[in-house]
Amino acid sequence: MIKYIIKRILVALPVLVGITIVDYAIMCAAGSPLAMLKGPRVSEAAVAAKAITLGLDQPVYVQYFVWLKQLLHGNLGYSIKNYQPVGSMIATHLGPTLLLMGVSLLVSIMIAVPAGIFSATHQYSKRDYTVVTLSFVGTSIPGFFLSLLLVYLFTVKLGWLPSSGMSSLGTGGGFFDIAKHMIMPVIVLATSMAGTNIRYIRSAVLEILQQDYLRTARAKGIGNFKVINKHALRNALIPIVTVMGMEIPVLFGGAVIVEQIFSWPGLGLVAMSAITNRDYPVIMGVCLLSAIVVLAANLITDILYAIVDPTIQYK
């Protein structure tokens, strides 16, 4: 068991190193920061001097290691736009994004698990087809279009919900105020995720329903409710956990778009404004952080998987 976990971490390490290399390569492909300096009033000598202070006269791999060393000291560089350290920019905006992602994930699970189980236990019935069809509708609506429809309905027509920000101006943003601002972004993120998850959970439960131990449970005569909720659901948890792990990068990407539309003050908003301003240190910081979060999430999923499922082979 311990051996498996260590092995899994050893596999993740080269991927982590690879991620930093890809990240750095993208930053290099994006262009040298010197290009921003060049102009009629800046002499060649000044540019060359700046190149030396930034370490750009060194070969690329040396630059990479210098960058990596800075990274290990927690220094992600400085924004070209407002000269703030990237690390603290990310730190202040991480919270709202995690809040949004966490609540959306929770809501999507609360929709998808009952719907998936219902669909599987009523396989090939009208109700099953309705649920599956609805799940396809959920995945087919582009997040931004659903956002626009929701804003049109709840903000413009009904005036019930605020359409931008995390709290109302002038207030400290109490629990209910933030919750009110969260409703629409959460609906958008949860809809597309629940759509995918319903189908995964449905097929996971269908597979388990055909297992011998379920037939035994049924034969014992403990009633359909107990069979499904005690025996089937517990075993279906394993694939469900895996799917959740896979969803995290998708969720993160969805957050970028949704935060942009609802002006939610999270990482996505920072990333998007950095992209339009070509503020590469910030973009790369966000990319690196999200890639590491995703990698960590996958690692934790795999380890959880091994703990939950004793039959897994530790190859």
Give the residues lining the site for another protein (CB under 8 A): 11, 14-15, 18-19, 22, 26, 29-31, 123-124, 129, 132-133, 136-137, 139-145, 148-149, 151-152, 156, 199-200, 202-203, 206-207, 249-250, 252-254, 256-257, 260-261, 271-272, 275-276, 278, 283, 286-287, 290-292, 294-295, 298
> How far is Cα 143 from Cα 106, in angstroms, rounded to an integer?
18
Minimum distance, C-beta of residue 45 to another protein, in the bound complex (Å): 29
Minimum distance, C-beta of residue 260 to another protein, in the bound complex (Å): 7
Angle at 197 between CA 127 and CA 183, to 5 degrees: 95
Minimum distance, C-beta of residue 172 to another protein, in the bound complex (Å): 27
Nearer to another protein, 32 or 174 (CB): 32
Minimum distance, C-beta of residue 200 to another protein, in the bound complex (Å): 7
Nearer to another protein, 18 or 223 (CB): 18
Quick one: how far is CA 130 from the chain centroid? 28
Nearer to another protein, 186 or 294 (CB): 294
End-to-end Cα separation, the chain, in angstroms: 11
Nearer to another protein, 88 or 133 (CB): 133
Nearer to another protein, 188 or 227 (CB): 188
CA torsion through residues 306, 309, 310, 314, sign: negative
Minimum distance, C-beta of residue 301 to another protein, in the bound complex (Å): 13
> How far is Cα 238 from Cα 207, in angstroms, rounded to an integer?
12
Nearer to another protein, 131 or 166 (CB): 131
Minimum distance, C-beta of residue 158 to another protein, in the bound complex (Å): 12
Minimum distance, C-beta of residue 21 to another protein, in the bound complex (Å): 9
Nearer to another protein, 13 or 49 (CB): 13
